[in-house]
Amino acid sequence: MPSSLSSRRRFLGIAASVASSAVHIGNPSILPAADANVQQPRLLDCHLHINHFERTIEDTIRHMDATGTDKAFVLPLETGEGGVLLRTETVLHAYHQYRDRIIPFCQTDIRSDDVIARLRAYHLLGCRGIGEQKEHLPLNDPRVERVIAFCNDVHWPITIHFQDGPGGYNQGLADHLETYLKRYKNVRIIGHAQTWWANISAEVPPADKTLYPKGPVKPGGLLDRLLSDYPNLYADMSAGSGFGALSRDKDFTAGFIERHSKQMLFGSDCPCYDGHGAHFKNLCYSRQLQAFLEELVTDPDTLQDIFYNNAMRALEG
Protein backbone atom coordinates (compact mmCIF):
# COMPACT_ATOMS: atom_id res chain seq x y z
CA MET A 1 0.00 0.00 0.00
CA PRO A 2 1.55 3.36 -0.95
CA SER A 3 2.35 5.43 2.12
CA SER A 4 0.27 8.37 0.87
CA LEU A 5 -2.86 6.26 0.81
CA SER A 6 -2.17 4.63 4.13
CA SER A 7 -1.63 7.96 5.93
CA ARG A 8 -5.30 8.92 5.68
CA ARG A 9 -6.41 5.48 6.76
CA ARG A 10 -3.88 5.53 9.59
CA PHE A 11 -5.33 8.84 10.80
CA LEU A 12 -8.80 7.35 10.81
CA GLY A 13 -7.51 4.28 12.62
CA ILE A 14 -6.01 6.53 15.33
CA ALA A 15 -9.28 8.44 15.57
CA ALA A 16 -11.12 5.15 15.99
CA SER A 17 -8.81 4.01 18.78
CA VAL A 18 -9.15 7.39 20.53
CA ALA A 19 -12.90 6.98 20.35
CA SER A 20 -12.83 3.48 21.76
CA SER A 21 -10.35 4.38 24.53
CA ALA A 22 -12.61 7.29 25.44
CA VAL A 23 -15.30 4.72 26.15
CA HIS A 24 -12.94 2.74 28.38
CA ILE A 25 -11.70 5.67 30.42
CA GLY A 26 -15.20 6.98 30.79
CA ASN A 27 -14.62 10.47 29.42
CA PRO A 28 -17.72 11.23 27.39
CA SER A 29 -16.63 14.84 26.80
CA ILE A 30 -14.06 13.87 24.14
CA LEU A 31 -16.17 11.15 22.56
CA PRO A 32 -18.34 13.24 20.25
CA ALA A 33 -15.37 14.96 18.59
CA ALA A 34 -13.43 11.74 18.10
CA ASP A 35 -16.55 10.00 16.90
CA ALA A 36 -17.16 12.77 14.37
CA ASN A 37 -13.67 12.12 12.99
CA VAL A 38 -14.36 8.44 12.61
CA GLN A 39 -17.62 9.03 10.83
CA GLN A 40 -16.38 11.78 8.58
CA PRO A 41 -16.59 10.40 5.07
CA ARG A 42 -13.31 10.77 3.27
CA LEU A 43 -13.46 9.52 -0.26
CA LEU A 44 -16.21 9.52 -2.85
CA ASP A 45 -15.47 7.92 -6.21
CA CYS A 46 -17.57 9.85 -8.74
CA HIS A 47 -17.15 7.26 -11.50
CA LEU A 48 -17.53 3.59 -10.80
CA HIS A 49 -19.22 0.77 -12.69
CA ILE A 50 -19.90 -2.72 -11.41
CA ASN A 51 -19.41 -5.32 -14.05
CA HIS A 52 -16.12 -4.61 -15.79
CA PHE A 53 -14.75 -8.06 -16.69
CA GLU A 54 -17.81 -9.53 -14.93
CA ARG A 55 -16.90 -7.99 -11.59
CA THR A 56 -19.72 -8.65 -9.12
CA ILE A 57 -21.36 -6.22 -6.72
CA GLU A 58 -19.41 -7.83 -3.88
CA ASP A 59 -16.12 -7.47 -5.79
CA THR A 60 -16.98 -3.82 -6.40
CA ILE A 61 -17.57 -3.24 -2.68
CA ARG A 62 -14.29 -5.04 -1.96
CA HIS A 63 -12.62 -2.64 -4.40
CA MET A 64 -14.11 0.28 -2.47
CA ASP A 65 -12.93 -1.16 0.84
CA ALA A 66 -9.42 -1.80 -0.46
CA THR A 67 -9.08 1.72 -1.83
CA GLY A 68 -10.52 3.52 1.22
CA THR A 69 -13.61 4.56 -0.75
CA ASP A 70 -16.61 5.41 1.39
CA LYS A 71 -19.13 6.06 -1.35
CA ALA A 72 -19.36 5.97 -5.11
CA PHE A 73 -21.55 7.25 -7.89
CA VAL A 74 -22.28 3.95 -9.58
CA LEU A 75 -22.99 4.54 -13.24
CA PRO A 76 -24.92 2.21 -15.52
CA LEU A 77 -24.31 1.96 -19.25
CA GLU A 78 -27.54 0.48 -20.51
CA THR A 79 -26.78 0.36 -24.20
CA GLY A 80 -23.35 -1.21 -23.74
CA GLU A 81 -21.73 1.12 -26.27
CA GLY A 82 -18.05 1.06 -25.42
CA GLY A 83 -18.06 -2.54 -24.26
CA VAL A 84 -19.52 -2.41 -20.74
CA LEU A 85 -23.21 -3.12 -20.31
CA LEU A 86 -24.62 -2.33 -16.89
CA ARG A 87 -28.33 -1.96 -16.34
CA THR A 88 -29.84 0.65 -14.07
CA GLU A 89 -31.81 -2.15 -12.38
CA THR A 90 -28.52 -3.79 -11.38
CA VAL A 91 -27.27 -0.53 -9.88
CA LEU A 92 -30.54 -0.09 -7.98
CA HIS A 93 -30.29 -3.67 -6.75
CA ALA A 94 -26.74 -2.94 -5.51
CA TYR A 95 -27.97 0.27 -3.88
CA HIS A 96 -30.59 -1.63 -1.90
CA GLN A 97 -27.88 -3.97 -0.61
CA TYR A 98 -25.35 -1.21 0.19
CA ARG A 99 -27.31 1.96 0.78
CA ASP A 100 -24.54 3.76 2.63
CA ARG A 101 -21.93 3.02 -0.04
CA ILE A 102 -23.67 3.34 -3.39
CA ILE A 103 -25.17 6.49 -4.88
CA PRO A 104 -27.16 5.19 -7.85
CA PHE A 105 -27.19 6.97 -11.20
CA CYS A 106 -29.31 5.86 -14.14
CA GLN A 107 -28.89 5.70 -17.86
CA THR A 108 -31.09 4.45 -20.62
CA ASP A 109 -31.16 4.52 -24.41
CA ILE A 110 -31.86 8.16 -25.19
CA ARG A 111 -32.87 7.24 -28.76
CA SER A 112 -35.97 5.43 -27.51
CA ASP A 113 -39.26 7.30 -27.43
CA ASP A 114 -40.02 6.43 -23.83
CA VAL A 115 -36.74 7.78 -22.45
CA ILE A 116 -38.31 10.50 -20.32
CA ALA A 117 -40.88 8.12 -18.82
CA ARG A 118 -38.08 5.72 -17.94
CA LEU A 119 -36.00 8.49 -16.39
CA ARG A 120 -38.98 9.63 -14.34
CA ALA A 121 -39.37 6.08 -13.05
CA TYR A 122 -35.67 5.92 -12.13
CA HIS A 123 -36.07 9.25 -10.36
CA LEU A 124 -38.90 7.82 -8.26
CA LEU A 125 -36.88 4.68 -7.55
CA GLY A 126 -34.09 6.70 -5.97
CA CYS A 127 -31.57 7.43 -8.71
CA ARG A 128 -29.63 10.65 -8.20
CA GLY A 129 -28.36 11.57 -11.66
CA ILE A 130 -27.79 10.44 -15.23
CA GLY A 131 -24.61 8.73 -16.31
CA GLU A 132 -22.64 7.53 -17.81
CA GLN A 133 -24.10 9.21 -20.90
CA LYS A 134 -22.19 7.39 -23.62
CA GLU A 135 -24.00 6.71 -26.86
CA HIS A 136 -22.94 7.23 -30.45
CA LEU A 137 -24.66 10.60 -30.88
CA PRO A 138 -23.16 14.03 -31.45
CA LEU A 139 -23.42 16.45 -28.54
CA ASN A 140 -25.82 18.76 -30.37
CA ASP A 141 -28.29 15.97 -31.14
CA PRO A 142 -31.73 16.99 -29.81
CA ARG A 143 -31.99 13.66 -28.01
CA VAL A 144 -28.89 14.56 -25.99
CA GLU A 145 -30.36 17.97 -25.23
CA ARG A 146 -33.63 16.33 -24.17
CA VAL A 147 -31.94 14.45 -21.31
CA ILE A 148 -29.86 17.46 -20.27
CA ALA A 149 -33.11 19.46 -20.10
CA PHE A 150 -34.65 16.68 -18.01
CA CYS A 151 -31.72 16.88 -15.57
CA ASN A 152 -32.20 20.62 -15.45
CA ASP A 153 -35.88 20.15 -14.52
CA VAL A 154 -35.23 17.68 -11.70
CA HIS A 155 -31.97 19.33 -10.57
CA TRP A 156 -29.80 16.31 -11.37
CA PRO A 157 -26.17 15.99 -12.38
CA ILE A 158 -25.25 14.25 -15.63
CA THR A 159 -21.89 12.58 -16.33
CA ILE A 160 -21.01 12.82 -20.02
CA HIS A 161 -18.34 10.86 -21.90
CA PHE A 162 -16.88 13.28 -24.46
CA GLN A 163 -14.98 11.59 -27.25
CA ASP A 164 -14.63 13.24 -30.64
CA GLY A 165 -13.94 11.41 -33.88
CA PRO A 166 -15.64 8.62 -35.77
CA GLY A 167 -17.05 6.03 -33.38
CA GLY A 168 -16.93 8.56 -30.58
CA TYR A 169 -19.58 9.83 -28.18
CA ASN A 170 -21.10 13.27 -27.68
CA GLN A 171 -18.79 14.68 -30.30
CA GLY A 172 -18.43 18.43 -30.56
CA LEU A 173 -17.63 19.58 -27.03
CA ALA A 174 -15.73 22.61 -28.31
CA ASP A 175 -18.67 23.78 -30.42
CA HIS A 176 -21.70 22.84 -28.37
CA LEU A 177 -21.09 22.39 -24.64
CA GLU A 178 -21.26 26.09 -23.85
CA THR A 179 -24.69 26.36 -25.48
CA TYR A 180 -26.07 23.91 -22.93
CA LEU A 181 -24.24 25.59 -20.05
CA LYS A 182 -25.80 28.91 -21.03
CA ARG A 183 -29.24 27.44 -21.48
CA TYR A 184 -29.46 25.14 -18.44
CA LYS A 185 -28.35 26.48 -15.07
CA ASN A 186 -29.77 23.83 -12.73
CA VAL A 187 -28.08 20.78 -14.22
CA ARG A 188 -24.55 19.98 -13.08
CA ILE A 189 -22.59 18.72 -16.07
CA ILE A 190 -19.73 16.41 -15.13
CA GLY A 191 -17.17 16.17 -17.95
CA HIS A 192 -15.37 12.89 -18.52
CA ALA A 193 -13.12 11.10 -21.00
CA GLN A 194 -10.62 11.77 -23.75
CA THR A 195 -11.89 14.88 -25.53
CA TRP A 196 -12.90 16.53 -22.28
CA TRP A 197 -9.35 16.16 -20.97
CA ALA A 198 -7.63 16.98 -24.26
CA ASN A 199 -9.18 20.45 -23.86
CA ILE A 200 -7.13 21.10 -20.73
CA SER A 201 -4.69 22.50 -23.31
CA ALA A 202 -5.24 25.25 -25.86
CA GLU A 203 -3.63 22.89 -28.35
CA VAL A 204 -5.91 19.93 -29.10
CA PRO A 205 -4.71 17.48 -31.75
CA PRO A 206 -7.33 16.13 -34.17
CA ALA A 207 -9.19 13.18 -32.66
CA ASP A 208 -8.12 10.88 -35.47
CA LYS A 209 -4.48 11.66 -34.68
CA THR A 210 -4.61 11.01 -30.94
CA LEU A 211 -7.16 11.05 -28.15
CA TYR A 212 -4.43 11.02 -25.51
CA PRO A 213 -2.17 14.05 -26.11
CA LYS A 214 1.03 14.12 -24.12
CA GLY A 215 3.64 16.70 -23.15
CA PRO A 216 3.41 20.24 -21.80
CA VAL A 217 -0.02 21.88 -21.69
CA LYS A 218 -0.49 25.09 -23.63
CA PRO A 219 -2.26 27.54 -21.26
CA GLY A 220 -5.60 29.06 -22.22
CA GLY A 221 -7.47 25.83 -22.88
CA LEU A 222 -11.23 25.60 -23.20
CA LEU A 223 -11.64 23.78 -19.88
CA ASP A 224 -10.04 26.65 -18.00
CA ARG A 225 -12.47 29.11 -19.54
CA LEU A 226 -15.63 27.02 -19.19
CA LEU A 227 -14.89 25.98 -15.60
CA SER A 228 -14.27 29.64 -14.73
CA ASP A 229 -17.45 30.87 -16.40
CA TYR A 230 -19.85 28.10 -15.35
CA PRO A 231 -19.90 26.95 -11.71
CA ASN A 232 -22.32 24.14 -12.63
CA LEU A 233 -19.59 22.44 -14.67
CA TYR A 234 -17.44 19.78 -12.97
CA ALA A 235 -14.39 17.76 -14.03
CA ASP A 236 -14.32 14.00 -13.48
CA MET A 237 -10.67 13.03 -13.01
CA SER A 238 -11.19 9.32 -13.59
CA ALA A 239 -9.66 6.74 -15.91
CA GLY A 240 -6.56 6.84 -18.08
CA SER A 241 -7.79 10.00 -19.80
CA GLY A 242 -8.01 11.92 -16.52
CA PHE A 243 -4.73 10.67 -15.14
CA GLY A 244 -2.92 11.20 -18.44
CA ALA A 245 -4.09 14.81 -18.70
CA LEU A 246 -3.39 15.65 -15.07
CA SER A 247 0.05 14.06 -15.03
CA ARG A 248 1.32 15.33 -18.41
CA ASP A 249 2.35 18.72 -16.99
CA LYS A 250 2.31 18.73 -13.20
CA ASP A 251 3.14 22.43 -12.82
CA PHE A 252 0.19 23.36 -15.00
CA THR A 253 -2.06 20.89 -13.19
CA ALA A 254 -1.25 22.39 -9.77
CA GLY A 255 -2.50 25.78 -10.99
CA PHE A 256 -5.47 24.27 -12.82
CA ILE A 257 -6.61 22.51 -9.64
CA GLU A 258 -6.11 25.68 -7.62
CA ARG A 259 -8.19 27.73 -10.08
CA HIS A 260 -11.05 25.23 -10.11
CA SER A 261 -10.68 23.58 -6.72
CA LYS A 262 -14.44 23.46 -6.10
CA GLN A 263 -15.16 21.74 -9.43
CA MET A 264 -12.65 18.88 -9.44
CA LEU A 265 -14.09 15.46 -8.66
CA PHE A 266 -12.04 12.45 -7.66
CA GLY A 267 -13.09 9.40 -9.68
CA SER A 268 -11.54 6.14 -10.77
CA ASP A 269 -13.57 4.31 -13.44
CA CYS A 270 -11.35 1.47 -12.21
CA PRO A 271 -12.16 -1.99 -13.52
CA CYS A 272 -9.80 -3.87 -11.20
CA TYR A 273 -11.13 -6.32 -8.66
CA ASP A 274 -9.14 -5.72 -5.52
CA GLY A 275 -7.66 -2.23 -5.48
CA HIS A 276 -4.34 -3.70 -6.55
CA GLY A 277 -4.93 -4.16 -10.25
CA ALA A 278 -6.24 -7.71 -10.33
CA HIS A 279 -7.82 -8.51 -13.72
CA PHE A 280 -6.48 -5.17 -15.03
CA LYS A 281 -2.80 -4.82 -15.95
CA ASN A 282 -1.76 -4.71 -12.29
CA LEU A 283 -2.95 -1.13 -12.12
CA CYS A 284 -5.61 0.46 -9.92
CA TYR A 285 -6.82 3.82 -11.21
CA SER A 286 -8.19 4.75 -7.78
CA ARG A 287 -4.97 4.11 -5.90
CA GLN A 288 -2.91 5.74 -8.66
CA LEU A 289 -4.94 8.97 -8.63
CA GLN A 290 -5.15 9.17 -4.84
CA ALA A 291 -1.37 8.95 -4.54
CA PHE A 292 -0.90 11.53 -7.30
CA LEU A 293 -3.30 14.04 -5.71
CA GLU A 294 -1.97 13.53 -2.19
CA GLU A 295 1.47 14.44 -3.48
CA LEU A 296 0.40 17.37 -5.66
CA VAL A 297 -2.30 19.03 -3.53
CA THR A 298 -0.76 20.28 -0.31
CA ASP A 299 -3.80 22.04 1.16
CA PRO A 300 -5.85 19.48 3.15
CA ASP A 301 -9.12 21.39 2.66
CA THR A 302 -8.67 21.38 -1.11
CA LEU A 303 -7.90 17.69 -1.01
CA GLN A 304 -11.05 17.01 1.00
CA ASP A 305 -13.04 19.08 -1.50
CA ILE A 306 -11.68 17.03 -4.40
CA PHE A 307 -12.04 13.72 -2.60
CA TYR A 308 -15.55 14.26 -1.29
CA ASN A 309 -17.19 17.66 -0.87
CA ASN A 310 -17.27 18.71 -4.53
CA ALA A 311 -19.01 15.51 -5.55
CA MET A 312 -21.67 16.06 -2.90
CA ARG A 313 -22.19 19.59 -4.21
CA ALA A 314 -22.47 18.28 -7.76
CA LEU A 315 -24.98 15.75 -6.49
CA GLU A 316 -27.12 18.08 -4.44
CA GLY A 317 -26.77 21.29 -6.42
Q: Which residues bind Zn ion (CB under 5 A)?
A: 132, 269-270, 272, 284, 286
Q: Which is nearer to Zn ion, 190 or 297 (CB)?
A: 190
Q: Which is nearer to Zn ion, 19 or 211 (CB)?
A: 211
Shortest Å, Cβ 5 to Zn ion:
12
C-alpha to C-alpha distance for 283 and 174, rounded to whole angstroms: 31
Q: Which is nearer to Zn ion, 88 or 302 (CB)?
A: 88
Omega of the bond leading into 135 within 30 degrees of 0 (cis): no
Shortest Å, Cβ 232 to Zn ion:
21
Q: Which is nearer to Zn ion, 116 or 280 (CB)?
A: 280
CB 126 within 8 A of CB 96: no
CB 102 within 8 A of CB 72: yes
Shortest Å, Cβ 67 to Zn ion:
6
Shortest Å, Cβ 274 to Zn ion:
7
Shortest Å, Cβ 191 to Zn ion:
13
Q: Which is nearer to Zn ion, 245 or 272 (CB)?
A: 272
Q: Which is nearer to Zn ion, 88 or 286 (CB)?
A: 286
Amino acid at 87: R
Shortest Å, Cβ 282 to Zn ion:
10
Shortest Å, Cβ 285 to Zn ion:
6
Q: Which is nearer to Zn ion, 22 or 64 (CB)?
A: 64
